[in-house]
Structure 1
Amino acid sequence: MTKIGIIKEGKVPIDRRVPLTPIQAKQIKDNFDVNLVVQTSDIRCFSDDDYRNAGLQIVDSINDCDIILGVKEVPVDTLTPNKTHFFFSHTIKKQDYNRDLLRSILDKNIRLIDWETLTNENGNRIIAFGRWAGIVGAYNGLWTYGKRYNLFSIKRAHECFDYEDLKNELKKINLPNIKIALTGGGRVTKGAMEVLLGTGITQVTPHEFITQRFDEPVFTQLNSRDYNKRKDGSEFHRNEFYANPELYEGDFLKYAKVTDLLIACAFWDPSAPVLFHREDIIRDDFDIRIIADITCDIEGSIPSTKKPSTIDDPIYDYNPSDDQVEQALTDEGNITVMAVDNLPCELPRDASESFGNEFVNNVIPHLLGKDEMGIIAGATIASEGKLTEKYSYLQDYVDGK
């Protein structure tokens, strides 16, 4: 019988999310031929007693489990050799800070399956926290606006018990007739739109956004075609843009001239155009003063995102004249940046429940079945002490080259 264990999260700062709620863990245990145990933890959003009451066994060690489920990177010294680990490894983009983690996974003969690489036949992710990053990121953007201009006071997202509690806070928001630009079109963007629409903010088209004045707060959702254009002036083609972004240049400044709050949700490829440059920010017609950068690409498409912020210290100021970070809310000439890089952690119960449902419905049948569609195989980064063929491009990263 396959034995599955839910690991105690060991990354610092702590992450209170879980891959499976107590009810979901019981569901898997009852419906599949598996034994499922939970490593004791005092930091989870669901307590040991919550799992115990659902009929799950609480254990000190999960080293005898065949499959070990976690959320964030597992510290090197708590990796279990010769087992299957599920977690977000943050290695597939050759992130320097996790090179030693991947080396240890190979040295310890671990089969690593990364949540981020679990996709269907169309290449779309089948499990993610993206919606919750969008929800919390947009909420934090509105919180930042209220904080900067002393307009209203609402609880921080992590102070809310759950999403329903957060929705009650949205009722306290009273915005002037500002314009909010939202980039992207995926899960993160949809989550952010939930919050903006839930706050009663009216959505307008990109054309209306830049050509009309409104007597109420409005937002627009911008896709790649709205703020990128072909260098030769010919028609935009989405598939070509993603395949050959070097053929395109940015066209975002027409929005920056009328935007008060930017909520950045769009995935950015380093070979694609940036949204804007530092030199653009110091122009007289650049109106953006608050940026909620949910993507949190450091030194990426948004030059003011110089570092990630944290849940405890969520905002900082960017001084465009000197290109440096300053204390938050210190100068009206600065841009206030919200760049928390672990946003779903602020609503851990809801985020975990949503994630667990996708695991039960979209992953478990393949993991505990025959994997005829190659869902698990395609997400396996390492196995038997080697990188799998699909991820062999990481070998020079592992070798330190």
Structure 2
Amino acid sequence: MLGNGVVGILAECSNKWERRVPLTPSHCARLLLGGKDRTGVSRIIVQPSTKRIHHDALYEDVGCEISEDLSECGLIVGIKQPKLEMILPDRAFAFFSHTHKAQKENMPLLDKVLAERASLYDYELIIGDHGKRLLAFGNYAGRAGLIDFLSGLGQRYLNLGYSTPFLSLGTSYMYPSLAAAKAAVISVGEEIATQGLPLGICPLVFVFTGSGNVSAGAQEIFKLLPHTFVDPSELPELFETVKCQLFQLIHILAAVHLS
């Protein structure tokens, strides 16, 4: 089956939010247009999915076949780990398996791959001539991650008794585009700028480590909010300043109450 020119695209099943695809309809069109002699691909079979970001009809429009059955495929590609029953014998698979560090929850998947004598191409382990990963998280991971974090932060603070502008922010999958998500974050930032944040949660400190793609994407979203970048050495002084402001506020409230 290996190298037979038939490629399969898995319907993602690792979590209910997963809408990504390993190959877009435009990718498929280029592979099929080149023909087997040029690209090595003669057919592409796509498992149907009602939650995938690209609808099934878009794949059909470029010549792909829609079918649950991928048994004719020599190469089967996905984003995340598939169900164990999708590991077919003597096929090649490509996805993020999360197994090379012996992650306990995915050991049954690795056992299944070995038992079926399948070939596994783990995206995380594909490197270039200089040992650098060719496939890795990009800026979008950081963008989505920080949006989801801010949304969760609003829920967390509400649970602690604080209402914040973060409550109006949805999680990243709820927005149809990056522009729409950024507009929502900007709106939160405008509310913070005009109304501020509860003093009890200030100073609100975000720490960014590293300078890779994910950190850069996260900082891109963060910069849409009112902020000041400070050196780590300035943090103790920053907290002392807010502590003094809180003491002054309590003192004023006490004076008003006594009067």
TM-score band w.r.t. shorter chain: 0.7 to 0.9
Q: Equivalent residue for 2:130?
A: 122
Q: Secondary structure of the residue that 1:180 maps to in structure 2?
A: coil
> Residues of 2 paired with 1:73 and 1:128: CA distance?
16
Alignment gaps of 5+ in structure 2: 197-202, 243-259
Matched, 1:155 2:170: yes
Partners of 1:161 and 1:188 in 2: CA distance: 21
Question: For the residues of structure 2 that align with 1:87 and 1:191, how far apart are their CA atoms?
Answer: 23
Q: For the aligned residues, what is the CA RMSD? A: 2.6
> TM-score under structure 1 normalisation?
0.49
What is the deviation of 1:29?
2.3
Contact 2:148 2:170 in 1 (8 A): no
Q: Give a deviation string over 1:171-221, Cα, whole Å, max 9, x none.
A: 1123446332112222221111111123353434444x43664xxxxxxxx
Name whichever structure is richer in helix by fraction.
Answer: 2
> Among residues 195, 211, 216, which one is paired with 2:221 in the alignment?
195
SS at match of 1:193: helix
Counterpart amino acid of 1:84?
A: A
Distance 1:206 1:28, change over 3 A: farther
Corresponding residue of 1:169 = 184
Counterpart residue number, 2:235: 210
Residue 182 of structure 1: SS of its match in structure 2? coil
Residues 85 and 154 of structure 1, relative CA distance in 2, 3 Å threshold: same
Corresponding pairs, count: 216
* CA drift at 1:92: 0.6
Report deviation, 1:130: 4.3
Match of 1:180 in 2: 206
Candidates 93, 97, 110, aligned match of 2:101 = 93
1:61 equivalent in structure 2? 69
Which sections of structure 1, spanning at least 5 residues, go unmatched?
214-256, 261-401
- 1:72 paired with 2:75, answer no
Larger Cα Rg: Structure 1 or Structure 2? 2
Aligned: 1:8 with 2:11 = yes
Instruction: Tell me the distance in 2 between the aligned counterparts of 1:11 and 1:192.
Output: 24
Q: How much does 1:124 deviate?
A: 2.3
Please give the residue correspondences for 1:360-371 in structure 2 after superposition, counting only pairs within 5 Å.
Answer: none
Determine whether 1:24 maps to 2:37.
no
Q: In 2, distance between residues paired with 1:144 and 1:125?
A: 31
TM-score, structure 2 normalization: 0.74
Change in 2 beyond 3 A, CA 1:58/1:196: same
Superposed, which structure 2 residues align to 1:209-248 within 5 Å? 209-210=234-235, 213=238
Q: Is this contact kept in 1: 2:142–2:215, CA < 8 A?
A: yes
| Partner residue in 2 for 1:362 | none
1:186 alignment partner AA: G
Q: Residue type of the partner of 1:58? A: I
- The residue type paired with residue 164 of structure 2 is L
CA distance in 2, matches of 1:10, 1:117: 22
Q: Where in structure 2 are the equivalents of 1:308-387 lying within 5 Å?
A: none
**Residues in 2 aligned to 1:66 and 1:5: alpha-carbon distance in whole angstroms:** 8
Instruction: Give the deviation of 1:118 after TM superposition.
Output: 1.2
Matching of residue 34 in structure 1 with residue 37 in structure 2: no
**In 2, Cα distance between equivalents of 1:34 and 1:15:** 26
**What's the offset of the Cα at 1:76?**
1.2
Q: Is the 8 A contact 2:150 2:169 kept in 1?
A: no
Cα displacement string for residues 95-120 of structure 1 (whole angstroms, at most 9, x for unaligned residues): 11121211111110100010111122
1:142 to 139, 150, 153: 150
Aligned CA distance change for structure 1 residues 10 and 146 (closer, same or farther; 3 Å): closer
The change in CA–CA distance for 1:205 and 1:65 in structure 2 (over 3 A counts) is same
| Structure with a larger share of its residues in strand | 1
Deviation at 1:82, TM superposition (A): 0.3
The Cα shift of 1:64 comes to 1.0
Q: How far apart are residue 13 of structure 1 and its match?
A: 3.9
